[in-house]
Structures are given as structure tokens and as C-alpha cells.
Copies of this chain bind each other. A is one copy, B any other.
């Protein structure tokens, strides 16, 4: 047995093995498999038989080296188990699959360093696009680094897509898919205000998170519009999780805060808040109203069902992928023209059963 001709060896079969065994050239095998070149039926038959016998599949790495290959989109996400952005990922993945694209997934675990490392890793993979999911941190340095990434990717023929965060400032070659965060918060706060609530506990999220800022701003604008003074003391920042919702409400109650409604930054926070109210013997919505944000499945599974803001997460994912696919098919001619594209999707309030007019307390 020669040294490098061992078709039945441990490794996978190569196109050469197939060609040899079928008594044809490798070029012919390649042509039969890709089907973009006329071949005789006889040849096709012979090749396909050997392909089946050897259970041959083409080597994707070699293929993409040689110019072919399936486009791949990289999805970078904080935490797969977070419902909201898992839906975005689903949207991206679904749309990618529909076009025969592949999706790579990396999780950043809220660590900017890992985010950096991952973007570079994806650049090595030669992905068609990197989709970054979730709210961003508003450091200057962070923003600068993102801009550098965007340019690096662009220079390498790839592209950066930001989903669920505001666009980068300046002339940066990145696409942003966003939703109208502030308006959603405005509408949600208005809903509470128009129900008669005036003392509202606000749990917008982490102070540095862009998402949280927008939601807080929207709420504040609604207060202004209703002529209600906005009390900064009624705002409690914290992570977007159940525990924060629970503790914020628990602490507020213990400290004797006076409120008839809770405006939570996300549905999960609202769930925590609801539980804390129950634990304190308060009824929702009879004693205290609650609203959330995101409209994840949990919102309609709680009792009472949560009034919240619907965000089209899955649709955002699809839109994100469509944006990069279009750009890629548009060819190099329009590459520079569509820089800094910003797509904004709408939100709307979903009214369920967690809001009632304020009760008379004391």
C-alpha cells in the first residue's frame, strides 16, 4: 500500500479517491457534484455510484478555499437562554437556513473581552456577516472598538450587523436593525398614566445599557406629556433578571415606598416584581398594576397575563439576515453606498390583565 493513497483509511474519502475508483478525473467528479457543467449521463451514473459507495461528502474547507462554499453568518449573543434574543437568533438562523446559509453561534456572556475575541475568530472563519445581538454598553472606548471591528470586517469583505441597539456614530460600515424602544416605553408608561397611576416604580435595567436608557427616556417623556412630575427616587436600576425584579419591589416595599404600579424594563423583571408583590400579600392588578416589556412567551403565561410591549424579535433576526444577503447579492458596486443603514421596526402595547386603575391605599 502506497503512503498517501489509502481510500479505506481512517480519514474521510477525498475527491481523488472517488475519481480513481470511478476511473475518471477529479475535475469530472467535481463537475458532477456541483452540477454546473454538462456531463454525460453515463459519467454521472458512474460517479454517483462511487459517491454513494464511499459515502463521500465534499470538504467544506477545501471548497471555500477554492472559491465555492456556503456563506456563513455568525451570531454573537450574550446568553442563548435569554428568551428575547434567542428569538432573534432563531430569526437569523431560520432565514439563513432558508437561503442555504450556515450559522455559527458564539456567546459573549456579557464580557466585552470575549466579544472582541469572538469577532476576530469569526473574521478568521471568513463569515459573510457578524450579527451582534443585544443592548450595547455606552462607553466611548467600547463604541470606538466596535467601529474598528466594523471597518475590519468591511475590509475583509464581511459586514457587521447590530441588532437591538442604537447605530454607531459616524461613518461606520455597519448595518443596524433596531426597534422603536423609546416609543414603546412611552406608550407603555402612557398606558399606566392614562389608567390613573401617578406613583409608579420604574425598573428600567442597568444604567449603562443603551436599551435601558431608551426605555427610561420614553417613560420620562410620557410623564412629561401627562404633566406628572418624574421622581428619580422611584427608579431602581439593575440587571434584566427575575431576581432584580423581586428584590427591587421587596426593598421598595420595606422602605415604605408609595406606588400603585410597576413599570418593568422586561417581562422577566416584571415576573420577579409580581412574585414579590404576592409575597407581600398584594394582589395584581387590584392593589398594584404591573407592565413589562418584550412580550416573550412568559408574559402570557403568568397569572395574571402581563400587559407588555410587543417587540418583533424574530422578525428583527430575519430582517438582519435579509440585509446582509441583499448587500452581498447587490455586488461590490453598491457596497459603499449602503453603509450605515439603519432599519427600525415598530412596537406596540399588548393589553392583557395586569393593569387596573389605582386602588385607594391607606
Contacts and interface: CB of A to CB of B under 8 A. Distances in A.
Contacts of A257: none
A126 B69 CA distance: 13
B106 A103 contact: yes
A89 interface: yes
Contact of A156 (B11, B83, B271, B301): B11
B278 A301 contact: no
Contact of A126 (B61, B94, B123, B275): B61
A212 to B, nearest CB: 21
Given A297-B242, A301-B271, A303-B274, A124 B58 contact: yes
B93 A105 contact: yes
Interface in A56-110: 57-65, 69-70, 75, 79-81, 83, 86-87, 89-90, 93-94, 97, 102-107
A61 B64 CA distance: 7
Contact of A303 (B123, B152, B303): B303
Interface size range of chain A in the complex: 35 or more
Nearest to A8: B155
Nearest to A332: B10
Contact of A86 (B63, B86, B272, B303): B86
Contacts of A278: 303
Interface string A121-159: 101111000000000000000000000000010011100
Contact of A55 (B70, B152, B301): B152
A103 B302 CA distance: 34
Interface in A136-185: 152, 155-157
A1 to B, nearest CB: 17
Nearest to A12: B156
B57 A124 contact: yes
Contacts of A94: 107
Nearest to A298: B298
A75 B57 CA distance: 19
A120 interface: yes
22 contacts: A11-B156, A12-B157, A57-B120, A57-B124, A59-B65, A60-B61, A60-B124, A61-B64, A61-B69, A61-B126, A79-B90, A80-B90, A81-B83, A81-B90, A93-B106, A93-B107, A102-B106, A103-B104, A104-B105, A271-B301, A274-B303, A275-B303
The 7 A-B residue pairs with the shortest CB-CB distance, nearest first, are: A12-B156, A60-B124, A105-B105, A61-B61, A271-B301, A61-B64, A60-B125
Given A60-B61, A81-B83, 15 more contacts: A10-B332, A11-B157, A12-B126, A12-B156, A57-B120, A59-B124, A60-B125, A61-B65, A63-B124, A93-B106, A93-B107, A102-B104, A272-B301, A298-B298, A302-B302
